[in-house]
Amino acid sequence: MNINAHAPRGPARRRALLARLIADGRHGSQEELVSALGRHGIQVTQATLSRDLASLGVGKLPGRDGRAVYSLPSPATEVVDRHRQELDLKSFINEIRLAGQLLIVRTPPGHANGVARAIDLLCSTDVVGSVAGDDTILVVTPSAARARAFRRQLESLADAGSSLAR
């Protein structure tokens, strides 16, 4: 599992809590989920909840007692706008540098979090985790060889080739 070191806030925090609530297999209606979120201090409208459920790829399956309950896909993954992910990777990677098993990815100011999220959503086995600042991302890989492989993958996705620092 890729870990982005910044703590989830706002919608990401809400969806993370929603995923935990759904994982317990007890909630069969949106009203139940709205109440459960409210008990955790998160107020949400039905429209927002519906969007979050779709974003998380939630469906309904028979629960332990036979009643239909919300269920996360296995493994739980957030569905993202692939166009946005491609845009972040193609447009906002300015430089990729290797440092052993680490990659330093430079972006324009304010774009590191979006690019880090796009990297995490690649679900690459070459990535252990990432930490994003304002314009810099630290990507940790299991080995120097895997770092080189992931760098090639990022360069290919960024479609930047020679414009990236080697």
**Residue 127 token pair:** 């990535």
Q: Which domains does the chain have, with CATH numbers?
A: 11-71 (1.10.10.10), 82-161 (3.30.1360.40)
C-alpha 71/C-alpha 87 separation (Å) is 30
pLDDT, position 162? 39
CA quadruple 98, 121, 16, 26: dihedral, nearest 10: -140
C-alpha 153/C-alpha 100 separation (Å) is 17
Of 45, 55, 43, 74, the residue nearest 15 (C-alpha): 55
Judge whether residue 163 has pLDDT over 50. Answer: no
pTM above 0.85, yes or no: no
Residue 78's pLDDT band (cuts 50, 70, 90): low
* Whole-angstrom Cα Rg for the chain: 18
Judge whether residue 42 has pLDDT over 80. Answer: yes
3-state SS assignment for residue 84: helix
Give the helix, strand, coil percentages of the chain, each rounded to 5.
45, 15, 40
